[in-house]
Structure 1
Amino acid sequence: MAKIRFYLTNKRAKGETKLYCFINYGLYVEEKGKKKYLPLKYTTPFQVLPALWNAENNRAKETIKWADADKFEISQSAVDESARENRNKFNDSLAVLELNVNRIISKLTVNNRLPRHEQVKKELDKIYYPDKVIANVTEIDYQSFDLIQFIDHLIRSKSDLKLTTIKSYLVVRKNLQEYQKKHKGSVTPQNANIDFYNSFVSYLTGKGLSKNTIGTRIKIVKSVLAYANEKKGVEVSQDYKLKSFAKPREETESVYLTTDELSRIYDLTLPKSLDNVRDLFLIGCDTGLRFSDLSRLKKDNINSDNTISITTQKTVKKVVVPITPRVRNIFEKYDYKLPRVISNQKFNQFLKEIARYAEIKEPVTITKTVKGMLVTRTVSKWELVTSHTARRSFATNAFLNDVPALAIMQITGHRTESAFMKYIRMSPKDNAIKLQSHKFFTQMAVVK
């Protein structure tokens, strides 16, 4: 993997200055018996004020100066939110460039022979300075593109793609490369028919991927084919519109924690590292906020009417959630400065330990498809607890306590009630207990 460092073109600039980078991908010459590495210098199109750049972290600084000017007339919360969004967008652009660099070098490396600087620069220019590259080209022949070329084109041309989306596209790109190598042929929009679908699904299944993971890959393939057909007028096999060309899926065994189990977790005495994770998890259980939003909660998000307001990172929509006494206690415990959120992987690892300490050990039988075979096993409930369990617990417990589904959906972001009902996790016993209080069951009298 290439090592990439960004630098300001003019550190003393009064206005914005471009970033350039040095890309060290292992290219070298030998001088007097020693290796002399040859990093590629590349000027990016990204500009930043020197005062907003953190040279040590190689990313934009965390400062309210990133906020849009009009937000200062609204509230401090609006300023913080705007600054965070603009800074993250800038830093994501740098992360995408790093992804593109490594993809290009991998693509151009043949028989372990690294590409020349000019080759790498030319490919980068196609993405970041396309006008320079196609100045002498009258028209792009999209009809000759295969699926991999269309994925590259989408990544280059669609500026609104999120970093997570680009990563997903690159994974599918790699899958297609490996598939083509195995089957010794190119996958084009014209031959991406139902036979390809069955073969590609079979190939991914053989790699040990779950049905839902394969479904995500197929969803991207379908979106690429739709783009080629509808946006670029390319002749495409229309099989991708068939019901049989659907993305595979299966129900996953996602658990929720009952109000009693959450109380047991809350009452635990834990070391600080687990204590922080426990408290953030419980905020998620009581607010329904995603893991990505928990780290962004501040005192400014708390309103005088005992609610939390935040624009969610995933949907960029504002949600307002009532504050429970437990959430209020946790905020006060940290003087409204919540602990830093660790990586999702580490968070989930600690969370399982916490659930085990709370003796959440109800047996749960899970069934999933592994290499095309159904595999069933029984585990303790604590083994299935993850950061996402918080949102499921919030939705399920709220529903069981007769909060209207549409009101919960305003917080969880589900667009349809059917999608929401699939999301909540209610056991047959939970359902029976809930029905006991319904007037249909309480009004029945025994006739003698």
Structure 2
Amino acid sequence: MSSVQPTSGTIKFRLKQPKEQKETPILFDYSFGRGNRIKYSTGFKILPKFWDNGNQRVRSVSTINNREEINSRLSEIKSKFTKELSKLEEPDKQNKLVLKSIYDDIMGRKEESSLPHFTFFTYADRFIKIHETNLISSSAMKLNLITIRAYKQTIKQLKDFNKENHFGLDFDKIDMTFYYSFVSFLEEKEYSLNTIGKHIKNIIALMNRATEDGINTNLKYKHRDFRRVSERTTSIYLTAQEIDDLYSLDLSFNKDWERARDIFLIGYFTGQRVSDYNGLTQKNIKTFEGRKVFEIHQKKTKKTVYIPIHPKIKSIMKERYNGDLPKKMADQQINEYIKKVGRKAKIKDIVITKKTIGGNVKEDPINKYDLIGTHTARRSFCTNAYLSKMPVIDIMALSGHTTEKEFYNYIKVTPQERAVKIADSAFFQ
């Protein structure tokens, strides 16, 4: 028999009524699992005497003009169905509605009403695929690569959870029972509270999109307790003195360290995200009323900001890059090198980190230089600019923060530092 046998089933073509004396439909027959089967018309009819049941093809008969067309189409249906089948998760391979949707798509008779038959994993995988291949025409709807990667990580965790717990996860199963089970699953893997929270956030986002698309009708995920869990991470900022120590450090013996340090300092003196400050060139430099400024199109906010070029950036450009800016460096390399630079600059304070892992709060002492990363530059700018009494509205205009609440949650100012700043206000003079 000329049949295709995927790992989960067998594809055959057969006649609906093989013993008829008149034309009968050629059927697509797929058997899978334990006694499961789907049968659909291929759109072709034939007299049984012209059908080769062994090869599942139209016989070579001179009176049938479209024999090659029919046989070619049958091969195409079989090939496409097998290919789409291989992309499915195991639960979807047993779902007749999903299989029907695939067949309808191949036959060109897919209707919008068939979309709601997709399972959660089918929808999630297709959602990712659409964004990865840039099939959405509206740029406002596109996801960036970091967000896509985060969704893929969440989907992987959900598939592991589903497999390990035999949960049969689908849209209608996403409720508070699932929520507690999934959180517990992640806690047992000793993920931090913030990581767990990000996965919950991604699930909610996917469910919202599926609901908007008419795929999902289960709204139990909107329960007030079905929410992202989080805790404030141990983030640091470098003091103005520590920034000066980095700036003054002689790193001529290691050009990679030096370039990473200089890019970091540009991040500090501009207050931008690493995606905006790493890779600035002469094209970003404009002159207004005799003053040189950076013109930066922020990737996240889509806003254009103008930032005065700090004297120390000018000095870095003049002394080490012949009046140019340091070339872009991979973020991972900056994160690796800036920690080593911080250690050499003797930024040795001990920081106590607190993190909820596996449901338990753990405290660990860590060297401050080990916590320095690309984002520390921006946080240090915002904090030191605030302590220097730069108006908050001006800091936000440069940093891109949209609300004061967001800004104050972002900066790292101790109660003592805030008290000293307040003491300098006119009220206490």
| TM beyond 0.5 | yes
Q: Specify the alignment match of 2:306 in structure 1.
A: 320
Instruction: Please point out which of 169, 172, 182 is paired with 1:190.
Output: 172
In structure 2, what is the Cα distance between the partners aligned to 1:384 and 1:376?
15
Sort the Cα spacing of 1:232 and 1:318 in 2 relative to 1 into closer, same or farther, 3 A.
Answer: same
Q: Specify the alignment match of 2:384 in structure 1.
A: 397
The answer to whether 1:331 aligns with 2:317 is yes
Sort the Cα spacing of 1:437 and 1:134 in 2 relative to 1 into closer, same or farther, 3 A.
Answer: farther
Alpha-carbon contact 1:299-1:336 (below 8 Å) kept: no
The answer to whether 1:149 aligns with 2:125 is no
Sort the Cα spacing of 1:315 and 1:300 in 2 relative to 1 into closer, same or farther, 3 A.
Answer: same
Alpha-carbon contact 1:142-1:234 (below 8 Å) kept: no
Deviation at 1:143, TM superposition (A): 3.3
Q: Specify the alignment match of 1:280 in structure 2.
A: 263
Tell me which moved more, 332-341 or 402-411.
Answer: 332-341
Q: Which amino acid in 2 is paired with 1:290?
A: R
Q: Which amino acid in 2 is paired with 1:137?
A: K
Sort the Cα spacing of 1:131 and 1:193 in 2 relative to 1 into closer, same or farther, 3 A.
Answer: closer
SS at 2:181 equivalent: helix
Larger of the two Rg values belongs to structure:
2
Give the gaps of 5 or more residues in structure 2.
1-83, 91-101, 137-141
Instruction: Please point out which of 172, 175, 193 is paired with 2:154.
Output: 172
SS at 2:225 equivalent: helix
SS at 1:243 equivalent: coil
Where in structure 2 are the equivalents of 1:273-312 lying within 5 Å? Answer: 273-304=256-287, 305-312=291-298
The answer to whether 1:163 aligns with 2:145 is yes
SS at 1:379 equivalent: strand
SS at 1:360 equivalent: coil
Alpha-carbon contact 2:237-2:377 (below 8 Å) kept: yes
Alpha-carbon contact 1:292-1:313 (below 8 Å) kept: yes
Sort the Cα spacing of 1:268 and 1:192 in 2 relative to 1 into closer, same or farther, 3 A.
Answer: same
Q: Which amino acid in 2 is paired with 1:281?
A: F
Q: Specify the alignment match of 2:223 in structure 1.
A: 242
Alpha-carbon contact 2:88-2:122 (below 8 Å) kept: no
Spell out, residue by residue over 1:152-198, the C-alpha distance to the aligned partner (whole angstroms, 9 max, x if none): 23224452222222222211111111111011132222120111111
In structure 2, what is the Cα distance between the partners aligned to 1:371 and 1:332?
51
Sort the Cα spacing of 1:157 and 1:277 in 2 relative to 1 into closer, same or farther, 3 A.
Answer: closer
Q: Specify the alignment match of 1:71 in structure 2.
A: none
Q: TM-score, normalised by structure 2?
A: 0.70
Sort the Cα spacing of 1:109 and 1:195 in 2 relative to 1 into closer, same or farther, 3 A.
Answer: closer
Identity, in percent, stands at 35
Alpha-carbon contact 2:104-2:110 (below 8 Å) kept: no
After the TM superposition, which parts of structure 1 deviate over 6 Å for at least 4 consecutive aligned residues? none
Q: Specify the alignment match of 1:251 in structure 2.
A: 232
In structure 1, what is the Cα distance between the partners aligned to 2:243 and 2:217?
55
Where in structure 2 are the equivalents of 1:110-149 lying within 5 Å? Answer: 133=106, 135-149=108-122
In structure 1, what is the Cα distance between the partners aligned to 2:351 and 2:147?
33
In structure 2, what is the Cα distance between the partners aligned to 1:173 and 1:152?
8
Q: Which amino acid in 2 is paired with 1:326?
A: K
Deviation at 1:375, TM superposition (A): 0.6
RMSD: 2.5
In structure 1, what is the Cα distance between the partners aligned to 2:390 and 2:119?
50
Alpha-carbon contact 2:270-2:277 (below 8 Å) kept: no
Q: Specify the alignment match of 2:393 in structure 1.
A: 406
Alpha-carbon contact 2:285-2:292 (below 8 Å) kept: yes
Deviation at 1:247, TM superposition (A): 0.5
Alpha-carbon contact 2:270-2:307 (below 8 Å) kept: yes
Spell out, residue by residue over 1:38-93, the C-alpha distance to the aligned partner (whole angstroms, 9 max, x if none): xxxxxxxxxxxxxxxxxxxxxxxxxxxxxxxxxxxxxxxxxxxxxxxxxxxxxxxx
SS at 1:341 equivalent: coil
Q: TM-score, normalised by structure 1?
A: 0.67
Sort the Cα spacing of 1:182 and 1:348 in 2 relative to 1 into closer, same or farther, 3 A.
Answer: same
Give the gaps of 5 or more residues in structure 1.
1-103, 111-125, 443-448
